[in-house]
Amino acid sequence: MSRSPGLLVGAGLTLFFALLALASLLWTPFDPTAFDVPARLQAPSAAHWFGTDHFGRDVLSNVMAGARTSISVAIVAVGLGMAIGVPFGLFAAAAGGAVDEWAMRASDIVFAFPALILAILLTAVLGPGALNAVIAIGVFNAPVFARLARGSALSLWRREFVLAARVAGKGRARISVEHILPNIGDLVIVQGTIQFSLGVLAEAGLSYVGLGAAPPTPSWGRMLAESQTIAAIAPWTAIFPGLAIVLCVLGLNLLGDGLRDAFDPKLRARR
């Protein structure tokens, strides 16, 4: 731990945003969605730490509530990607041969769609909204986990402990669950952290272009979209939500890198 300040900083930032999101459930300085037109476009002050926007909404309250939206969308989306991708990858590795070949071709096709284009296409079909953003982000996460699970499972299938399990008469499905899955868990968690940070970025991007959580649900991406025309007179409306995204993504990336190094001493030696 002491050799890895990145892991500590990453875990700290991640924890901070998680707590911020949880705290917003119970308390925010102001109602994030309440208009207070006389108090609009106020610079940061003792009352409004991060200032107010063009409707007089408190920016800090919205940043807090936006953390809740971003984190919950990203968590559910990555969870969905894992829940589809990991069993798919395990199945492909266990089946082998033509099934494996076809499964990987299928994931190639999803990969061939630039992730964001796929998300835009899906939200175009399903309509904007937090749930549809979750599905869109989850779908392009699935092949990432499928490839990861398949790749690492394939090498485990040649190992002796798996051979021993097969000799003991266990079926391929049971071996996948009992022996393969526990051994790829750490890789899945590390990748999950990285995908989580990409998910936060993707959610921000989708809500920036109006395809994410619908108003009035506070969201970092939409705050930035709304700030664009007033950034010149009220730069704080653009600066704080953007900083929140940067710090949250940075924390998750550092956490992911740190976890990978902690799980894999060989990689650490190379640094």
Partner 1 sequence: MTRAGAIASYAGRRFLSLALTLLAASVVIFVLLQIAPGDPAAYMMGLNADPRALEALRAELGLAGPPVERYLNWIGGVLRGDFGVSYTYRAPVSSLIAERLAVSGPLALLALALAVGVGLPLGAVAAARRGGPLDALIMAATQIGLAVPNFWFAILLVFVFSIVLGWASAGGFPGWDAGVLPALRSLLLPALVLALPQAAILARVMRSALIDAQGRQYMLTARAKGLSESEALRRHAFRNALIPALTIIGLQFSFLVAGGVIIENVFYLPGLGRLVFQAITQRDLIVVQGVVLVLVLIVVTVNFLVDIAYAVVDPRLRRPA
Which spans of this chain sit near partner 1 (rule: CB under 8 A)?
A: 105, 108-109, 112-117, 120-122, 124-125, 127, 197, 201, 204-205, 208-209, 221, 224, 227-228, 231-232, 235, 238, 241-242, 245-247, 249-250, 253-254, 270-271
Please report how close the Cβ of residue 248 comes to partner 1 at its closest, in angstroms. 8
Please report how close the Cβ of residue 174 comes to partner 1 at its closest, in angstroms. 30
Classify 171 as helix, strand or coil. coil
Please report how close the Cβ of residue 179 comes to partner 1 at its closest, in angstroms. 27
Residue type, 52: T
Q: Which helix (H) or strand (E) holds 123?
A: helix 115-126
Residue type, 194: I
Rounded CA separation 78/207 (Å): 17
Please report how close the Cβ of residue 75 comes to partner 1 at its closest, in angstroms. 18
What 8-state DSSP symbol labels residue 178?
I
Please report how close the Cβ of residue 143 comes to partner 1 at its closest, in angstroms. 13
Please report how close the Cβ of residue 127 comes to partner 1 at its closest, in angstroms. 7
List the structure tokens of 84: 């589809």
Rounded CA separation 76/80 (Å): 6
Rounded CA separation 77/14 (Å): 17
Question: Closest CB to partner 1 among 92 and 245?
Answer: 245
Q: Cβ-count burial of 182 within 10 angstroms (0-12 exposed, 13-18 middle, 19+ buried)?
A: exposed
CB environment 117-142: b (16+ within 10 A), e (fewer): ebbbebbeeeebebebbbbbbbbbbb
